[in-house]
Amino acid sequence: MTYQLKSGDILLYRPSGLFGRLIAVKTWHAISHVEIYAGIQRSFASRDGLGVDHYPVRTQDLAYVLRPQVLLDFVGGVEWFEQHKGAPYGWLDLLNFIGVPIDSHGMVCSSFAAGFLRACDWDIFPTDPINRVAPFQFLDLVGPQCVIAYNLQ
């Protein structure tokens, strides 16, 4: 299938690998990873074992593509990304998903995506600290401000 992705699309992935499966088990949801489409077949993300950077977009295990219906300040998001680029993956921050509050100064995928979208002037999950946002919560955005562009379930 060919995807017509747009900058700012939210890419949600099914579990893959050990940590993806652990995230799915501990959050009770089948979404374990999230990235933001940057354009030109690249995405912004914090990938496990690699940390924050821009990567070739991957479609393997892609479950949903969410498309914001709000005007994003993408320049603001890219500036935020540049400030966080190179941050390590926050392995210990995964403990937030089981109720252990910790900030290891690393960043997991959902914290990265929530921070990026907030920097785009879209204050998603306004009552949640970004280090407590889990990947599945991005499905809660579906509504007037965000639509499902592709459902690959």
Q: DSSP assignment, residue 123?
A: -
Q: List the chain domain ranges.
A: 10-151
Q: pLDDT, tens digit, for every residue of 22-32?
A: 655 555 577 98
Beta carbons of 62 and 37 less than 8 angstroms apart: no
Tokens for 68?
Answer: 């914001």
Residues 6+ positions from 78 with CB-CB distance below 8 Å: none
Instruction: Write down the pLDDT at residue 128.
Output: 86
Decide yes or no: CATH 3.40.50.1000 for domain 10-151: no
Per residue, the 3-state secondary structure of 60-99, as one string, reads: CCEEEEEEECCCCCHHHHHHHHHHHCCCCECHHHHHHHHC
Q: What is the pLDDT of residues 82-95, one digit of tens each?
A: 999 999 987 666 66
- Please give the residue that has the higher pLDDT: either 28 or 68: 68
The 10 Å Cβ neighbour count of residue 123 is: 10
Average pLDDT on 102-109 reads 78
